[in-house]
Amino acid sequence: MQIHPDHRETGVLAKRMCRLLGYVGPAIALDSLLLQPPHSLMVQSYAPKELEVALLNADGFGLGWYDAAQVREPFTYRNVLPMWNDPNVEPLCRYITTGCALAYVRSATPGQGVDISNCQPFQSGNLLFTHNGYIKNFRETLYRPMRQLMSDRVYAAIQGNTDSEHIWGLVLTALSAPSPPSLVSALGIALGQLLALAQKYDTPVAANVLISDGQTLIGSRVASHGRAPSLYWLSNNLQLPNAVTVASEPLFAAPWERLKEHSLFTFNANRDLQYHPISGI
């Protein structure tokens, strides 16, 4: 199926928040991803097309990227300002060249603070993490059960109060096992735990996730009740050749495809899409 930027996916999920983007491919300037496309992430911060509840993504943003010359711990730039209000964004994006990046604009869930600790992407070692979605009434429902599943080290390292960082905490806990699973398996374990809790406590959750280690994109498009938020992918397009891009909304007119509902997926170094089972589901 070919999807174009004027398409709007409909569904019954109560909340659709934030917009995210991931890229792996030849080194390019960040502005060609985040600023130049007609429906760039910058545009999605003030004029999203598939955000069903909020009108804007004005509660902060973040960029994460890897050095184009070698894969090492990534760099991040985060701010609580709306993306369009930060005078540093344009010169930074013109200057930074990268072959792998994650980026995000935020529409905060009511009750969750607008501060730098809640801005994504989150980083641990060579990994970057972003999440678009929500856990309904997080503090009253899954906050404590999720924290009880975390290792002491991960529990102590959480700095913010978002559902997103707690999902990331489940992934990091899986990775801290004595015999650590692969990154995609760790995300599958975390999603399995999250969905089991959603069922146990009858709490709607949505988890569109992107994780990168600088060479691959690993992610999910998942919801426990109703439809998951929108998530598309595009590979080896003339505007972004030999690359794969994953985005909440298409950046420009092209044969973007929706990622499958209730899916765990990877894009490897060859830009091939592969789906994987979610642990316990």
Catalytically active residues, by annotation: 18
Q: How far apart are CA 217 and CA 45, in angstroms?
A: 22
**The CA-based dihedral angle spanning residues 52, 21, 228, 219, taken in that order and rounded to the nearest 10 degrees:** -170
Q: How far apart are CA 33 and CA 40, in angstroms?
A: 7
SS3 139: helix
Widest pairwise Cα distance in the chain: 48
Q: Residue 235: name the closest of 13, 25, 4, 18 by CA.
A: 25
Which is it for the CA torsion 121, 254, 7, 43, positive or negative?
positive
Q: How far apart are CA 246 and CA 232, in angstroms?
A: 6
Burial of 66-76, coded b for 16+ CB within 10 Å and e otherwise, reads bbeeeeeebeb
Q: How far apart are CA 60 and CA 276, in angstroms?
A: 32
Identity of the amino acid at 119: C
Q: Residue 78: name the closest of 130, 3, 43 by CA.
A: 130
Q: How far apart are CA 84 and CA 98, in angstroms?
A: 22
Is 171:220 a contact under the CB 8 Å cutoff?
no
